Amino acid sequence: MKKTVLILFMTSTIYAGGLFSVGHKNFGFSVGSSSGYGNTYTVVGINANYFVTDNLSVGAGYTGWFGNDPKINEINIPITYYLPIEGNYKPYAGVIYRHTFIDDPYKDHDVYGGRVGIAIVTGANAFMSIGWVQEYYDDGINSESRGYPEINAGFTF
């Protein structure tokens, strides 16, 4: 399966307060495109994150691949740590686990990976981030390591 860069990735974010403090939450959605199994898909996702302590978020999400066969659905669990430094630039690093459910004759598979980047605070309750994701998967037949850029924007209200 070959993954292409998500051209449009939008995150709508709702926080209970500051950007990276304990107890704060965000909810997001994403829209993009990707290809796999010789087909191109529209990829739509939804996620939620919770800051279990200052600068450390744990999340859960769902992504559906629409418009082609085989049918693909994913659940994911990201954990991200934002370096607590002064200023508007917050480097981050994290780990990702994702389970992909896929129609027969293909097999479900797990993806493990990491992400690094920088979050830029753009307002009292807004940020954007630019980073790199590196993933590894093995479906029992094929194994692959792949990387791709990620771009996120968060808005609070």
- By CB atoms closer than 10 A (0-12, 13-18, 19+), residue 154 is buried
Instruction: Give the predicted TM-score (pTM) of the model.
Output: 0.79
Q: What is the pLDDT of residue 16?
A: 36
Strand partners, 42: 33, 66
Q: Where are the domains of the chain?
A: 25-155
Q: How far is CA 77 from the centre of its chain?
A: 9
Asked if residues 103 and 128 have their Cβ atoms less than 8 Å apart, the reply is no
Q: What is the pLDDT of residue 123?
A: 82
Top CATH class of 25-155 equals mainly beta
In the chain (157 residues long), the average pLDDT of successive 10-residue segments reads 39 50 84 90 93 94 95 96 91 96 89 95 84 88 88 68
Q: What is the pLDDT of residue 155?
A: 58
